[in-house]
Amino acid sequence: MLTLAGISKNFPGVRALSSVNLEVRPGEVHGLLGENGAGKSTLIKIIAGAYVSDEGEMSFAGAPAKWPSPREAKRHGIHVVYQEFALFPQLSVAENIFVGHERRNRFGLVDHARTRREARELLQKLGVALDVNASVSSLSVADQQMVEIARAMVHNVKLLVLDEPTAVIAGREVALLFDLLRRLRESGVSVLFISHRLDEVFAICDRVTVLKDGRLVGTHDIADVTRERLISMMVGRDLGDLFPARPVAIPIGKPVLHTEAVSVGDRVRDISIELRRGEIVALAGMVGAGRSELALGLFGAVPLRSGAIHLAGRRFTSMSPARAIQLGMGLVPEDRKSHGLAMQLDIAANISGPALSEVALHGLVDRRLEAGIATREIERYRIACRGPATKVVTMSGGNQQKVIVARWARICQSVLILDEPTRGIDVGAKVEIYRIMRELAASGVAILMISSELTEVIGMADRIIVMREGRVTGELAGGEATEESIMRLVTSERAA
C-alpha cells in the first residue's frame, strides 16, 4: 500500500530522519514505535504531505508519490489523525466532519440538513453517539478523536495514520477505538498506528517498525518479538539504566507546601496535596485531567478560584509568579518554547531570567557576571553548546530543556514543579534531567513532576498522586506502584 525507501529529512541543526524504509501492506495495522524525538512525527508528516522529504522515494497504492500538500495526500486516500487534532473548536461536529467537502444541494449551496444527516449516519456506522450540532470544543477528547476518524471515512480512506491516538484516551475508549480499527482492517484499510505503549501495540498491530534517533531499527511481525526486545530496540539500552537510584541515606523531610481545597480554572476542583522536603512526587493522569492547570495555579500563573496554598509558614489565598519565585518556587512548563524560554536570547540571559537582580548589581545587567554563572551551569549540567552566548533557538530540544531546568534548579529552594520535563527530548538528555531532579531532591527541594510516561513516573517518584477530571483520585507509594495500578486510578475503572 505504502512504501518508503531511504527517506531523509533535515531541519536546521537537526537530522530528523536518516534513510528510513517503511512498508505498510494493504489491510494491516502497522505499529510505528519510538521514543519521543525518534522521528515518528516527522515521518508521518512526510507521508501526509505536510513536509517534503529531502531524500528518498515514496510510493502509494502502486504509484510514485510526492505530495506537494496535505490536500494532495488526502485526495489519494491518506488520512492522518494528528495528536493535536486538526479540528475547528467553534464549528459543529457535522461541519467539522465535512469541512472542505461540504454537502451541497442541487443548486451547489451548502445543504445543512444533509450535512447533519450524513454526519449522524457516519457516526452511527462508527458506533459513536454524538450530537452533530454540538460544537467540537464541548466534546471530550475521545469524542473529538472520533470526529477526526469520522472525517477520514468521508474520503474513501485507504491509509489511516493515527498519531499516538491513545495518549489522550483510556480504558473503554481505547477498546472502542481498537474495535473500530479491526473493522477498518477487515474492510481493507491500512492503519499506521503510532504509539509507545507496548501493550496496545501487541493488542492491535500485525507488524511493528521501530525508529530511534531518526533511524530505522527494524520491522518485525508482532509474533516474532517480545516486549523486552521492543523496549531495547526503542531505548537502545535497558530501562534499569535510565533512572538514577534514589539515595537511601536522604530522608524525606517536613512538609514544605500543602494546599487546602484549591480550585483552579473551571476544571480543577478541591485539590488538597502535600509536598515534603527531599521528595519527588509524580502527578499522573490523562492529558486534560487538570494537572498542568494545578501546576500553573500553585505557581500563581493562573488565579486560584478558591482554597489556599500553605508555603513557608504562611497561608496564601492568591499567588503570583513573582511571589512564588520569591518563596523559592520554580516551574518548568510543559511548552518550553512558548512559556519557558526566550528563544532568541542566549543561554546566559535565559538562566539569569528570573533572578536578574543578582546579576544587576548597580541597576545594570553585568554581562560578565551573567556569563560566569551560565558557564558554571553549562558545565554542571553538561549542556552541549558553544558557550554562554549561544542562542537558545539554535540548540536541540534536550539541551534547551536542560537550560530551563538549570535556571530553576539554581534559584529554587522550596518547590520545583516540572511539567512533562522529558517530552520530546532524547534519551541522553532524559537521563541528565533525572539526575538533576535527584540532586535537587537530595538538597532538600520538594519536586512535583507532571508526567504522562508511566515508566518515568514509576522510575522516579517517591509518591504518586493521580488526577482525573480535575480531582485527585488516589495516591500510591512509589515503591509499590505498577503501570496497571496507576492506570486504574487514571481511568477510575474497577479492576477486572
Considering only 19, 23, 85, 301, the residue that binds other proteins (CB under 8 A) is 85
User: Among 87, 201, 286, 329, which residue interacts with other proteins (rule: CB under 8 A)?
Assistant: 87
Q: Is 143 in the site for other proteins (CB under 8 A)?
A: no
What amino acid occupies position 35?
A: E
Instruction: Kindly tell me which residue out of 17, 32, 39, 95 binds other proteins, with binding defined by CB under 8 A.
Output: 95
First to last CA, the chain: 39
- Phi and psi at residue 450, to the nearest 5°: -90, 130
Vertex 155: Cα angle to 149 and 157 (nearest 5): 70
The least CB distance from residue 471 to other proteins, in Å, is: 20
80/119 with CB nearer other proteins = 80
CA distance 152 to 359: 55
- Quick one: which of 6, 70, 288, 474 contacts other proteins (CB under 8 A)? 70
Residue 322 touching other proteins (CB under 8 A)? no
Interaction between residue 133 and other proteins (CB under 8 A): no
Residue 151 touching other proteins (CB under 8 A): yes
Q: Going by C-beta distance under 8 Å and a sequence separation of 6 or more, which residues neighbour residue 152?
A: 79, 81, 160
- One character per residue 18-57, x = contact with other proteins (rule: CB under 8 A): ------------------------------x-x-------
Residue 321 contacts other proteins per CB under 8 A: no
| Nearest Cα residue to 4 out of 15, 18, 20 | 20
Q: What angle do CA 126, 127, 128 make, to 5 degrees?
A: 100
Q: Is residue 68 involved in binding other proteins (CB under 8 A)?
A: no
| Smallest separation, CB 388 to other proteins (Å) | 33
435: left (phi over 0), alpha (psi -120 to 50) or beta: alpha
Using CB under 8 A, count the residues that bind other proteins.
26
Q: Are strands 55-60 and 2-11 parallel, antiparallel or unpaired?
A: antiparallel
At residue 40, what are phi and psi to the nearest 5 degrees?
A: -60, -45
Q: Which of 5, 14, 91, 235 binds other proteins (CB under 8 A)?
A: 91
In the bound state with other proteins, the residue whose beta carbon lies nearer, of 87 and 233, is 87
CA atoms within 13 A on the CB side of 242: 20
Burial 344-364 (b: 16+ CB within 10 A, else e): eebbbbbbbbbeeeebeeeee
Q: How far is the CB of 45 from other proteins (least distance, A)?
A: 10
Which of 72-80, 184-192, 285-293, 369-377 is the region at the interface with other proteins (rule: CB under 8 A)?
Answer: 72-80
**Per-residue b/e over 237-268, b at no fewer than 16 CB within 10 Å?**
eeeeebbeebeeeeeeeeebbebeebbbbeeb
Question: Among the candidate windows 31-39, 93-101, 207-215, 248-256, which touches other proteins by CB under 8 A?
Answer: 93-101
Helices H, strands E: what count in the chain? 17, 21
d(CA 298, CA 193) in angstroms, rounded, equals 37
d(CA 457, CA 97): 37
Contact with other proteins (CB under 8 A): which of 51, 60, 82, 193? Answer: 82
The residue (of 105 and 272) whose beta carbon lies closer to other proteins is 105
Q: Which is nearer to other proteins, 90 or 318 (CB)?
A: 90
Give me the residues paired with residue 482 across strands: none
Site membership for other proteins, residue 308 (CB under 8 A) = no
Q: How far is the CB of 302 from other proteins (least distance, A)?
A: 10
Tell me: does residue 387 bind other proteins (CB under 8 A).
no
Judged by the rule CB under 8 A, the positions of this chain that interact with other proteins are 48, 50, 69-71, 74-75, 80, 82, 85-91, 95, 99-100, 102, 104, 109-110, 112, 151, 266
